[in-house]
Structure 1
Amino acid sequence: MRYISFSCVCCVTIIALFIFLVPVNTALVFYKENTDKIEAFLPLEKGDKFELVFTHSIHLTDVIEKYEITNELSIKQNEIVYEHFGIGMPSNASAGEEFTMEEGKYHIKNLNNIFPSINIRNGKTVSKNRLIWGEEGEHLVWFNQYFEQGAWLKIKVEKLTLCKYLRGVMIDGEGK
């Protein structure tokens, strides 16, 4: 009887350790400021692409930053799309990059910027930040659906434990 009880306790302990300590689900995680408090997460895998779209505070036009998740779970910036030069906007491409104009918008392509994390602020005055993902960019959510206006967020790609996954706020795109 003691053997069965000991076996049950061992099994429960192993399951609990798995739930709380073993990372199993890859996600784009949005942390509150510089803390370990998860505000929300989006389940994504290596190779998945996503876009961050914000409205430029001076020009009031959209700026689209295109990213993908690397095999090392970093964030790789591939492209920037914008309509006006000015504060915070590049005026040309660097070596190995391609600068084009398509349908009235400037594109800087072939970027190879690798980030372990990205700091972003949800707009306070002009709050039109969006997150787009999916095969053809079919999912879109407004930051205001998940984050307070003016909130500062750190975005990282991480493997979440099942416990964090179940406790967190999963971003759910209804489509464009």
Structure 2
Amino acid sequence: MKRLIFLLVVAILGIIILFSPSFTVMSFQETRTNNPQSYYINVSKEDKFNIRYTHSIHLTDVLENYEITDSNQIKLLSMEYEDVAIGMPAHAEQGQTLSYENGKYKLEFENQTVESFTLYIGNINLELAVIYEGNTYDLKKSLERGSAFLFEIKRISIFDKLKGVVMVHEKE
């Protein structure tokens, strides 16, 4: 009887450990599919990250700077870009500041916070990467081109982590 109780307690503890959200990750959840795949970048204590991409029309780099809030929301800090033609802001709106220095525009946001956003992985050979803790994660190599992914910061369990794919950064 003691052995049965012991095994039951161990099984319950194992289930709790396996299914309790204990890892904070940047999550890329595939959308518009019947069998969505999840991809993760492990988050540590560093709360800032960047998304860098080459604009498909201007063919210039855009750098978006983000911060992870205490409630795991995504706070847009600023955008840096070289051209204000198609698709890039040429003026600041309420709660924003636009400056121009050394050939680059910098659009800063006072309080722009979202829970998630959809990221489209274009089927073109231009850069799209997440930069976190000095490491570059090439999204064009890790995620399926032509697909959309829900991007969010969230806590996941060991079970969720085993079901998904943990992205690796490129060697610097």
Kept in 1, the 8 Å contact 2:56–2:126? The answer is: no
Query: Aligned pair in 2 of structure 1 residues 50, 175: CA closer, same or farther (>3 Å)?
Result: farther
What is the TM-score when the length of structure 2 is the normalising length?
0.88
More deviation, 157-166/70-79: 157-166
CA distance in 2 between counterparts of 1:111 and 1:123 reads: 30
Identity of aligned pairs, percent?
27
Q: Distance in 1 between matches of 2:8 and 2:66?
A: 45
Taking the aligned partners of 1:144 and 1:71, their CA distance within structure 2 comes to 29
* Paired letter, 2:153: V
Kindly indicate whether the alpha-carbon contact (under 8 Å) linking 1:33 and 1:153 is maintained by their aligned counterparts in 2: yes
2:27 alignment partner AA = V
Letter in 1 for 2:23: N
Change (3 A) 1:67 1:133: same
Runs of 4+ in 1 over 3 A off after TM superposition: 34-38
CA distance in 2, matches of 1:111, 1:142: 29
Candidates 155, 159, 165, aligned match of 1:159: 155
TM-score, normalization by structure 1: 0.87
- Alignment-derived partner of residue 31 in structure 1: 29
Match of residue 104 from structure 1? 103
Q: How far apart, in 1, do the equivalents of 2:110 and 2:51 lie?
A: 15
Q: In the alignment, what sits opposite 1:60?
A: 59
Residue 175 to residue 110, structure 1, CA distance change in 2 (3 Å): farther
Where does structure 2 lack aligned partners over 5 or more consecutive residues? none
**Is structure 2 residue 75 aligned with structure 1 residue 79?**
no
Give the 5 Å matches for 1:1-176.
2-20=1-19, 22-33=20-31, 37-45=36-44, 48-134=47-133, 138-176=134-172
Q: CA deviation at 1:154?
A: 0.7
Give the total of aligned pairs. 171
Letter in 1 for 2:144: E
